[in-house]
Amino acid sequence: MTTSNLHLYILAAPLLGAFAVNLLGRLSRRWVAPLTLGVLGYATIAALVVLARVLRDGTISYTIGNWRPPFGIELVIDPLGALMLLLISAVALTATFSSLTSIERELPGREHLFFTMYLLLIAGLTGLALTGDAFNLYVLLEITSITTYGLIAMGRGRAPLASFNYIIMGSIGACFYLLGVGYLYLLTGSLNMADIANILHGLQETAALATAFAFIMVGLWVKMAFFPLHSWLPNAYSLAPSGASVMIAPLMTKVTVFLMIRVMFSIFSPEYEFIQHAGVQSLIVWVAALAIVCASALALAQRDLKRMLTYIIVAEVGYMVGGVWLANSQGMTGAILHIVNDALMTLCLFLAAAAIAYRTGSLGFDSLQGLYRRMPITMAAFTIGAFSMIGVPPTAGFFSKWYLILGGIEANQWGYVAALLFSSLVNAVLFFRIIEIAYFRTGEVGHGHDHGHAAVRVEEAPLMMLAPLVLAALALIAVGFGSGPLVSGVIRLAVPGGF
């Protein structure tokens, strides 16, 4: 119990900010940028303070309206949740700089509406990181989903159709989750996660419990686009306005993976998943391996940068799900570290894609030719993001892969290890294909001694898009070098008990 409200303000700031943006944005569009950035800047700083506090004092429990749990709504901020809070707010803040610029061009005159939803989505994500209540989790999940539907539908062309498919799939996922929670409620009479966990502890294993668990898991897998439930994601993310995808792509799937960890370890227990259902555990790791391989292979078939990235996201989801289900602390550490790293990598790459789209207007592979000359800084940052995806040290991506593979070796899951290596190799092919296109100008004709190179003008993206991109790229290297302290200082604490 605490009386400090700081963590609540992290949730409330974007919520209030959303409606303030809507109200004041009507009066003048000039209000939008300072309000959004101010709110998110505040949230980021507050999240940092909260994380430090949680690491020092341990898990914080907060009751809304002073109704004591399990009757009232409880917010639980454990180290993992606090880490997610910081990740969400920091990534959102970074992405916002770029969004502000690209939305100004893509949706002129409707910035205030866009950023209302944008901030609501962030508030929803923050809530997901905070909540300690299974039903609230459903509501917040739907808040994030509904705003995402809206944001995606704001894109051009086929975006509304992609959004509609996402609505159908996303709602099925949410309904499954709701149904699972219904079973849990029938069994325990409670909705508070800690309370349910307590009651389940003394409960016999029944078919109903397994049903509940299965429904919740499948529901979340749909939401996180775990192969083969991923079909909605590539269209939805690649057709969304770039201002929306720079924020949605890094955060949505990662937060859902976090939710899976929450459900698995705060409601159910490692003993339940990994010992009582060891066969299922092994099966899911194999499915994760399959997910990685298939999604990587599908990514190879894409001819558009953003679509390719979306398939990589699907593969990365396989990494994380597999890591969690390896059922050892290395795999878990890897999965959590990969949540952080993958959010940053995806942010970096999508920011680069947004910057490229801003200048070239298209992300087809053909339009990427000669980009190293036209946009050297953007491409340098893109290259760092690509290296991180491939897993080249010392970028961040290498270290989470390190833990994941180590977990796979420890668990004797060689299929998963092979899948991770395969995916690294495929990523190398994917990104070097792009680097090659961007590095060679026209490709076919030899022009080794052509002095006309200097004629290509440098046309970098505007500073508002470039600065966050460079920041994200530097963050990848910084997190890579700092992954030792990060793991020992934060993630080891965040690994749920039972390992």
Residues 66-125 within binding reach of other proteins (CB under 8 A): 66, 109, 113
Say whether 183 sits in a helix, a strand or coil.
Answer: helix
CB of 342 closer than 8 Å to CB of 320: yes
CA distance 117 to 126: 14
Of residues 75 and 90, the one with the C-beta less far from other proteins: 75
Taking the complex as a whole, the smallest distance from the CB of residue 484 to other proteins amounts, in Å, to 4
Burial 229-242 (b: 16+ CB within 10 A, else e): bbebbbbbbbbbbb
- Largest separation between any pair of C-alpha atoms in the chain: 78
Q: Of residues 283, 436, 456, 463, which one binds other proteins by CB under 8 A? A: 436
Which x/- pattern, by CB under 8 A, does the window 304-343 give for other proteins? ----------------------------------------
499, exposed or middle or buried, with CB in 10 Å at 0-12, 13-18, 19+?
Answer: middle
Helix (H) or strand (E) holding 75: strand 74-77
* 463 lies in the site for other proteins, by CB under 8 A: no
Helix (H) or strand (E) holding 99: helix 79-106
Taking the complex as a whole, the smallest distance from the CB of residue 138 to other proteins amounts, in Å, to 8
CB of 404 closer than 8 Å to CB of 331: yes
Of residues 63 and 360, the one with the C-beta less far from other proteins: 63
* 480 lies in the site for other proteins, by CB under 8 A: yes
| Positions in 15-34 near other proteins (CB under 8 A) | 15-16, 19-20, 22-23, 26
| Positions in 234-273 near other proteins (CB under 8 A) | none
Which x/- pattern, by CB under 8 A, does the window 189-218 give for other proteins? --x---------------------------
Q: Of residues 208, 443, 459, 463, which one binds other proteins by CB under 8 A? A: 443
Of residues 41 and 482, the one with the C-beta less far from other proteins: 482
CB of 92 closer than 8 Å to CB of 246: no
Of residues 97 and 243, the one with the C-beta less far from other proteins: 243
What is the token pair recorded at 413?
């899951």
| Positions in 136-165 near other proteins (CB under 8 A) | 138-139, 142, 145-146, 149-150, 153-154, 157-158, 160-161, 163-164
What is the token pair recorded at 442?
């026209």
Q: Of residues 84, 91, 167, 351, which one binds other proteins by CB under 8 A? A: 167
CA distance 86 to 10: 10
What is the token pair recorded at 304?
């558009």
CA distance 113 to 26: 9
What is the token pair recorded at 272?
């339940």
Taking the complex as a whole, the smallest distance from the CB of residue 424 to other proteins amounts, in Å, to 5
Of residues 198 and 231, the one with the C-beta less far from other proteins: 231
* 175 lies in the site for other proteins, by CB under 8 A: yes
CA distance 309 to 317: 12
Q: Point out which residues pair with 7 in neighbouring strands.
A: none
Taking the complex as a whole, the smallest distance from the CB of residue 276 to other proteins amounts, in Å, to 25
What is the token pair recorded at 28?
């003048």
Of residues 95 and 479, the one with the C-beta less far from other proteins: 479
* 441 lies in the site for other proteins, by CB under 8 A: yes
Give CA 39 to chain center in angstroms.
Answer: 20
